[in-house]
Chain A
């Protein structure tokens, strides 16, 4: 058992979901909500079939097609036969296993899995949430233990609503002070990852705290928690507060009436005790953060937009080969400035920055301006609900007048499984989450940034301070 000191929020949620402990092994953890998409689930359903198993709790799995879907002409049959087969397989599995929450292409609730979960009220404080996708950490914004899993684990959850996991260590990252003008949640996250590096939180589950975190909207909190995995963390969470409760209330799958009142009382208890001790504590000053861009091939290679790419003597000797490989891939040199670098593509979207607030920020910047001639822009809403809101709020007209087109929802150029691929050698300013080699298409060069820096690049055609 744990000692008598206070508990962290992570400990409280984890302990409440322990079904059993394996001697000298992992914990059997009950999962409240499982999200499922077409790419990482077919082999799991095959596994159930091979063992003659049913899905244990079908109502606890929400299924949406998002990773391998086109972002134009979604009413037409999918052209690529291999992709079409994957989507058909997804539908067949949903039907065969009697899955009640299935949102295929074209469904009004269809969209990127980590966007439709919260917007429909599936995501609620205190839950354990998994999905065969590493950005499941997004849901931690509501005070949940949410993390990505592999397909074998998807099969475990479908078969038993449980998973075997080793208990991670706990880390608290506190952001004191206020974010400056034009500095967004994405900048805060990229700053943090640049300080911790891409493996710096491996083995930990993070709680985000402090004034700057408290001041974030729900959607901004989702952006921060989404990127937890990019520093290796198992997940990241933020204690729920009035901002959280106001967001959840009234959503379709949120509790109602008397059940809401009881849940709310419980949710208000979900916080870290004052005397709880974390395995690691980090403190940052939010006012020191400026708009961020990445210059390399992992999300830890980020810098303030006005800065210079680190020179070789700033890099650890063991890491220099990897560092130069990375800069060679990007076509950049140590010591160069990022401001003024040419850009070819701009991608607004993904589970990181594909929500309505991201589109508001982008639209507000480009209003009355024009898209630069040299820029190909892909604006991809995270869901049909986001798309609808873009139209209802008049953002569609603003974007169109500025020379932008709106595409249909999906993961799109974030991982480029569909046709939204950045050509080899071209530079993309992307609001997504990964700048790995080839992530946005073979040879594509990705510069990660927030929606405001993306808008500035789209209008000016080069990296520009917003």
Chain B
């Protein structure tokens, strides 16, 4: 192999006069090749990212949606404070969440016996902690607006608490779906929490965001750019899906 050539994971060879430090345009070209050739390393990182973020989104939806609905319709002393705290938690710094989960899952921590630190499970836990307040706060607002509209009718039908929550969640399902998509987008884009509890171990806990951070710091731009393309595409796709869903639901159901 000539010194100004590198072998890609797919088996192809890339050569440049400026290797081992390609120019920006060469890095971009290589990044595109990595994506279009479905480079195994890129693919593995993307799939792990999707798995971790999907699992954490599902968990946060199961926790956050009913919690948001309950806070929306319950009336109790201190409710205003709870809502304020929930809204504030939306802005939790990911690194702080990572630190807190690290302390919980470390050997000296209360959940150290689980033995999940530096595994994808720990990353799922951290992202769940991070996005559950977001899901709960946004769903609280949506459900509360629906509750204001439906309250008298549901009271007239003598619906119990469980039925009210289920009805409100179902009636606002399309708006809540966009909340869940927003949660997924936040999970997929964050780096602070997963890098602390996951350790960014190659082939084990390296996801798109942590890989971009590492490869950029090493000066290995092609892989960072390739993952960046995928991440941006993912975020755009999520937002497009959310917007389309909102429009379709408005036209279909009024």
A and B part of one assembly: no
